[in-house]
Structure 1
Amino acid sequence: MKAARYYGNHDIRIENIPEPELLPGTVAIDVAWCGICGTDLHEYLDGPIFVPAPGHPHPISGEEAPVTMGHEFSGVVSALGEGVTDLNIGDRVVVEPYIIRPDVSIAEGEEYQLSSDMNFIGLAGRGGGLSEKVVVERRWVHPVGDIPLDQAALIEPLSVGHHAVVRSGAKAGQVAIVGGAGPIGLLTAAVAKAEGLTVIISEVSAARKAKALATGVADHVFDPTEVDVAAEVRRLTGGQGADVGFECTSVDAVLDMLLDAVRPAAVVVNVSIWGHRPTVDMYKLVMKEIDLRGTIAYANDHAATIKLVQDGKLDLASFITGRIALDDLVDEGFDQLIHHNDTQVKILVHP
């Protein structure tokens, strides 16, 4: 089968590899669509980060580069391994793409995203969504019902946004400031809006500003090259500042703006994956008693996220800005998102 294989920095190759083996307790999935994630771009530009470098196999998967890429994907169940009785061939599904140790519980309330040596399908081995087929453990497979499969490919990044909002402790009626209207910023804003918050977005790209307004995920959008965003947030909140902030850019100036824009004792959640060590104004953090929180991926967020979409509280179709074939992954996918990200939000790949 055809697959996108990560060999190293700026080295992704489309190759033919053997189909994965169906094992007891696993599910075979014909991949329909796979999104290109910001994490994939970080691996391409700055990696390996999550991908195990050659000579350093991942302690759980046992794999090292080259690995098959892709962790934001949807598909159709094509075969069921021995012992899997609660799914049917033909079911539409998405995958929660974790690689964790088999003895780690994923029960409600468990923080399995923080377990030792956690990593992701599509980054640290076990196949990936940028291929024609994938086989995964049953526990990571989530049926999506009648959600269209192209939109369903966005459930994974939407779950990242959902987890970030849950981590923030934000409540309906509060005000959120989101730094950055890339895919994760927009989807985090979408969850916050669906949960009843007033959402303000800071963004410089004209296309992404327009997308934030057109999709209805933002009540206000400000361009930091045109206005003092923190001052505008304070103006809209009677001088108090936002209740919660979300950093979705991995840009130092945006993090600094958020510390200015939130009220005293507010929460700022860092959602982005950083390729460098940021500078943080600790004086602002201390004097305002700001709670700066990290967040990684998700933990039992997929079911709630799927329900938000099924209940009509979120329209994922409007976030898709491109659809390409696997053979065009680098030229029309990665290069577009790297060099023309002002016109793209989410590009989907059809293997």
Structure 2
Amino acid sequence: MRAARYYARHDIRIEDIPEPRLLPGTVSVRVAWCGICGTDLHEYLDGPIFVPASGHPQPISHEEAPITLGHEFSGTITALGEGVTSLEVGENVVVEPYIIGAGVPTGPGEEYQLSPDMNFIGLGGRGGGLSETVVVEQRWVHPIGDIPLDAAALIEPLAVGHHAFVRSSARAGHVAIVGGAGPIGLLLAAVLKAQGLTVILSEVSEARKAMAVSTGIADHVLDPTQVDVGAEVRKLTQNHGADVGFECSSVDSVLDMLLEAVKPGGVVVNVSIWGHRPAVDMQKLVLKEIDLRGTIAYANDHPATIKLVQDGKVRLEPFITARIDLDDLIRDGFDALVEHKDTAVKILVHP
């Protein structure tokens, strides 16, 4: 089968590899669509990061580069391993792409995203969505009903936004300021809007500002090159400040803006992955008693996220900006995201 294999920085190859074996307790999924994530882009430009470098196998998967990429994917079940009874061949599904220890509990309330040596299918081994077929443990497979398979490929990043919302403790009626309208920032804003929050979005890209307006996910869109975002947020909230802020850009000035924009005693949730150590104005944090929180991926967020889409509270199709074939992955996928990041939001790949 065809697969995109990560060897090293700037070295991703489309190769023919053997189909994965179906084992007891696993499910074979024929991949329909796979999104290119910002994390994949970081691996391409600056990696290996989550990808285990050659000679340094991942402690749980025991795999090392080259590995198959892709962790935002949807598909159809083609075979069930021995002991799998809760799923059916022919069901359309998405996968919660975790690699965690076999003994780590994943029931309600469990924080398995924080377990030792955690990694992701499509980054740390065990196949990936940028291939024709993937075999995964049944616990990670979520039926999606009649959600279109292309839109369903965005459920994984939408779950990232849902988990950030849960981490924030925000609720309906609150005001949120989202810093950065990349794919995660846009999808997070969609979750916040669906949950009844007033959403203010800060972004410089004209195309992404336009997408935020056209999709209706933001009540106010502010450009930090044109206005003082912190001052505008206070003006919009009768000098109260936002209840919660979300950092989705990995830009120091955006983090600083959020510390200005949230109310005293407010919450700032860092969603982005940083490639450098940011400068943080700790005095603002201290004097305003701001609660700065981290968030990584998701934990039992997929069912609630899928329901938001099934109930029509979040529409995913408008965020898809291109659909490409696996053979065009580098030119029309990775390079397009690097060279046209202002207009390319979510590129889907059909393997």
| Distance (whole Å) between structure 1 residues aligned to residue 318 and residue 4 of structure 2 | 26
Q: Which runs of 5+ in 1 are unaligned?
A: none
Question: What's the counterpart of residue 340 of structure 1?
Answer: 340
Deviations 1:152-194 (A, max 9, x none): 0000000000000000000100100000111000010000000
Question: What's the counterpart of residue 271 of structure 1?
Answer: 271
| Distance (whole Å) between structure 2 residues aligned to residue 287 and residue 336 of structure 1 | 43
Q: Which runs of 5+ in 2 are unaligned?
A: none
Per-residue deviation at 1:236? Answer: 0.1
Identity of aligned residues (%): 77
| Distance (whole Å) between structure 2 residues aligned to residue 332 and residue 268 of structure 1 | 35
Per-residue deviation at 1:46? Answer: 1.2
SS in structure 1 of the partner of residue 315 of structure 2 = coil
1:80 aligns with 2:77: no
Per-residue deviation at 1:344? Answer: 1.1
SS in structure 2 of the partner of residue 27 of structure 1 = strand
Question: What's the counterpart of residue 283 of structure 1?
Answer: 283
Deviations 1:239-267 (A, max 9, x none): 11100000001111111111111111100
Question: What's the counterpart of residue 149 of structure 1?
Answer: 149
Question: What's the counterpart of residue 51 of structure 2?
Answer: 51
Per-residue deviation at 1:303? Answer: 0.2
1:235 aligns with 2:262: no
Letter in 1 for 2:236: L
SS in structure 2 of the partner of residue 199 of structure 1 = strand
Question: What's the counterpart of residue 301 of structure 1?
Answer: 301
| Distance (whole Å) between structure 2 residues aligned to residue 345 and residue 324 of structure 1 | 14
Q: Which runs of 4+ in 1 moved over 4 A?
A: none
Question: What's the counterpart of residue 24 of structure 1?
Answer: 24
Per-residue deviation at 1:335? Answer: 0.8
Letter in 2 for 1:290: I
SS in structure 2 of the partner of residue 334 of structure 1 = helix
1:311 aligns with 2:311: yes
Question: What's the counterpart of residue 249 of structure 1?
Answer: 249
Output the TM-score relative to the length of structure 1. 0.99
RMSD between superposed Cα atoms in Å = 0.5
Letter in 2 for 1:96: E
Question: What's the counterpart of residue 220 of structure 1?
Answer: 220
Per-residue deviation at 1:10? Answer: 1.0
1:101 aligns with 2:101: yes
Question: What's the counterpart of residue 34 of structure 1?
Answer: 34
Letter in 2 for 1:142: H
Question: What's the counterpart of residue 200 of structure 1?
Answer: 200
Deviations 1:264-293 (A, max 9, x none): 110000000111111111111111111110
| Distance (whole Å) between structure 2 residues aligned to residue 170 and residue 213 of structure 1 | 22
| Distance (whole Å) between structure 1 residues aligned to residue 62 and residue 121 of structure 2 | 12
| Distance (whole Å) between structure 2 residues aligned to residue 255 and residue 333 of structure 1 | 29
| Distance (whole Å) between structure 1 residues aligned to residue 119 and residue 56 of structure 2 | 14
| Distance (whole Å) between structure 2 residues aligned to residue 15 and residue 284 of structure 1 | 51
Per-residue deviation at 1:12? Answer: 0.7
Question: What's the counterpart of residue 168 of structure 1?
Answer: 168
Deviations 1:122-163 (A, max 9, x none): 000000000000000000000000000000000000000000
Per-residue deviation at 1:214? Answer: 0.5
Question: What's the counterpart of residue 211 of structure 2?
Answer: 211
Question: What's the counterpart of residue 188 of structure 2?
Answer: 188
SS in structure 2 of the partner of residue 327 of structure 1 = helix
Output the TM-score relative to the length of structure 2. 0.99
| Distance (whole Å) between structure 1 residues aligned to residue 245 and residue 280 of structure 2 | 15
| Distance (whole Å) between structure 2 residues aligned to residue 333 and residue 241 of structure 1 | 39
Deviations 1:91-130 (A, max 9, x none): 0000000000010000100000000110000000000000
SS in structure 2 of the partner of residue 29 of structure 1 = strand
| Distance (whole Å) between structure 2 residues aligned to residue 176 and residue 279 of structure 1 | 23
Letter in 1 for 2:282: M
| Distance (whole Å) between structure 1 residues aligned to residue 323 and residue 153 of structure 2 | 12
SS in structure 1 of the partner of residue 308 of structure 2 = helix
| Distance (whole Å) between structure 2 residues aligned to residue 10 and residue 224 of structure 1 | 33
Letter in 1 for 2:350: H
SS in structure 2 of the partner of residue 110 of structure 1 = coil
SS in structure 1 of the partner of residue 6 of structure 2 = strand
Question: What's the counterpart of residue 123 of structure 2?
Answer: 123
| Distance (whole Å) between structure 1 residues aligned to residue 78 and residue 276 of structure 2 | 41
Deviations 1:191-228 (A, max 9, x none): 00000000000000000000001111100001111111
Per-residue deviation at 1:85? Answer: 1.1
| Distance (whole Å) between structure 2 residues aligned to residue 201 and residue 12 of structure 1 | 34
* Number of aligned residues: 351
Question: What's the counterpart of residue 110 of structure 2?
Answer: 110
SS in structure 2 of the partner of residue 267 of structure 1 = strand
Per-residue deviation at 1:329? Answer: 0.7
Question: What's the counterpart of residue 12 of structure 1?
Answer: 12
